Amino acid sequence: MNTHNNVTVIPCYKLLRSNDSSQVRLIQVVLAIILALVVLPVLGQAILRYFVPQEVDPFPPVGETYQPGEAPQTLMAATMPPISTAISLDEEEIEQIEQSINFSLLVPGYVPNECYWQSYRVILNGVQLSYTCLCINQQQVQNVQQPRFGEGSTEEVSVGNNPAFYIRGNWMQLEGQNEPIWVGDAGSWLIFEHDDIIIRLRTGSLTKEELIRIIDSMLE
């Protein structure tokens, strides 16, 4: 025990060796609470850091042309490439894509009836698979910008036991307006992370349940 200016200083090791078990338990509880408050939020942010959508209004500087009254699926079909005669990707095409993107491609084992394969295109360290009912983007996390969507459009859902985000709507530029606005009925998105790859499904017609089922089939 040391004394400085009439103040008694008790070494920490003597406090920790106290026989007062209740005091020891109290210290343990306090440390546990501090650990939970500091560490757990950081872990949560790490889990969601790649695909947490940001709701903004207005955004973005560019958008698609949207005529009032048009069905979302009509808009999507107009932007897709011509329909391929192939039913799906073959093994040779998958190998070629993987050589370009440097990660294992996930291909859905399920799509709804009358949803047909069209084509693919390689993007920045990623790929886009196009079907008549949806587009599937797969991209390495370091090349994915934080997605931004309209206010009140996002919903957290589960794919298996993992978090994902379902977004209802799309940015569209209305005729006669200079800036795009968020249109809540212009399709939907499902965003999911798997092995440091961001998977984004975009559709003009499929339900949330169908999108989740498609991603489930990609992970099987």
Residues 6+ apart with CB under 8 A from 165: 51, 52, 53, 154, 155, 156, 157, 189, 190, 191, 192
Co-location of 186 and 211 in the same domain: yes
Co-location of 71 and 161 in the same domain: yes
Co-location of 176 and 210 in the same domain: yes
pLDDT above 70: residue 215 = yes
Provide the pLDDT for residue 41: 38
Co-location of 125 and 202 in the same domain: yes
Can you give the residue range of the structural domain that contains 120?
52-219
Per-residue confidence band for 64, with pLDDT thresholds at 50, 70 and 90: very low
Domain count, the chain: 2
Residues 6+ apart with CB under 8 A from 105: 89, 94, 97, 98, 127, 138
Tell which wins on pLDDT, 10 or 106: 106
- Report helix, strand or coil for 170: strand
Average pLDDT, stretch 10-37? Answer: 50
Name which of 220, 197, 201 is nearest 211 in CA terms: 201
Provide the pLDDT for residue 176: 76
Classify the C-alpha dihedral 92-88-187-53 as positive or negative.
negative
Contact by Cβ (8 Å): 107, 94: yes
Co-location of 22 and 106 in the same domain: no
Provide the pLDDT for residue 183: 80
What is the identity of the amino acid at 93? E
Round the average pLDDT of the chain to a whole number and report it. Answer: 70
Co-location of 160 and 128 in the same domain: yes
Co-location of 61 and 159 in the same domain: yes
Per-residue confidence band for 1, with pLDDT thresholds at 50, 70 and 90: low
Co-location of 62 and 20 in the same domain: no
187 forms beta bridges with none
Rg (CA), the chain: 26
Contact by Cβ (8 Å): 164, 191: yes
Provide the pLDDT for residue 207: 94
Co-location of 32 and 79 in the same domain: no
Co-location of 113 and 18 in the same domain: no
Per residue in 130-180, pLDDT tens? 999 999 999 988 766 666 777 788 899 988 888 899 999 887 877 777 787
Co-location of 99 and 170 in the same domain: yes
Provide the pLDDT for residue 131: 94
Provide the pLDDT for residue 70: 36
Co-location of 162 and 118 in the same domain: yes
